[in-house]
A and B are shown apart, each in its own frame.
Chain A
Amino acid sequence: EAQVTQNPRYLITVTGKKLTVTCSQNMNHEYMSWYRQDPGLGLRQIYYSMNVEVTDKGDVPEGYKVSRKEKRNFPLILESPSPNQTSLYFCASSFNILENTEAFFGQGTRLTVV
Chain B
Amino acid sequence: GQQVMQIPQYQHVQEGEDFTTYCNSSTTLSNIQWYKQRPGGHPVFLIQLVKSGEVKKQKRLTFQFGEAKKNSSLHITATQTTDVGTYFCAGQAGNNRKLIWGLGTSLAVNP
A residues contacting B by CB (< 8 A) are: 40-45, 90, 92, 97-98, 101-108
A103 and chain B: residue at smallest CB distance = B45
Query: Is B102 an interface position by the 8 A CB rule?
Result: yes
Query: How many Å lie between the Cα of A62 and that of B97 in the bound state?
Result: 22
Residue among B92, B101, B104 making CB contact with A101, cutoff 8 Å: B92
Query: How many Å lie between the Cα of A90 and that of B40 in the bound state?
Result: 12
In this complex, how many residues of chain B approach chain A with their Cβ under 8 Å: the count is: 20
B residues contacting A by CB (< 8 A) are: 31, 33, 35, 41-45, 48, 88, 90, 92, 96-99, 101-104
Query: How many Å lie between the Cα of A105 and that of B104 in the bound state?
Result: 16
Chain B interface helix/strand/loop/mixed: strand
Chain A interface helix/strand/loop/mixed: loop
Residue among A97, A98, A101, A108 making CB contact with B42, cutoff 8 Å: A108
Q: Which residues of A contact B41 (CB under 8 A)?
A: 107-108
Does the CB pair B42–A107 fall under 8 Å?
yes
